[in-house]
Amino acid sequence: MNQAKETKIVYIATLKGHEIFYYDFTCPECKESTVLATGIGRYGNLGAFNCPHCEQSFYATNDDFPRAWLYVDRPTRNIVLTPLSKEELQK
């Protein structure tokens, strides 16, 4: 029996009733995929989060026009994410 893998979603700085942006994030430590959801602005610090698979800590910051920079331990090791479309999110 082949069970579908449940998509894990991590909410970072979201407010009920506001638009949410979704990003596909692959953890550089465990290589597992997670969807990150954020809804506050398109620029600024979003805060810390842990990978739901391996508990590695990350810090998220948005730059202009929703592209998230995720700082991993140091700003020199950043990961650039592009937003997911609603169709991609429902796959």
Integer Cα distance of 78 and 30 in angstroms: 16
Give pLDDT tens digits for 37-79.
887 655 677 788 999 999 998 888 876 655 667 666 555 667 7
Strands 33-38 and 44-50: unpaired
Is residue 85 predicted with pLDDT exceeding 90? no
Residue with the two structure tokens 């805060």: 47
Considering the entire predicted model, what is its pTM? 0.73
Decide if 50 contacts 29 (C-beta within 8 A): no
Cα gap 35→22, rounded to integer Å? 6
Distances (CA, A) of 91 to 6, 35, 67, 86, 88: 11, 12, 21, 9, 5
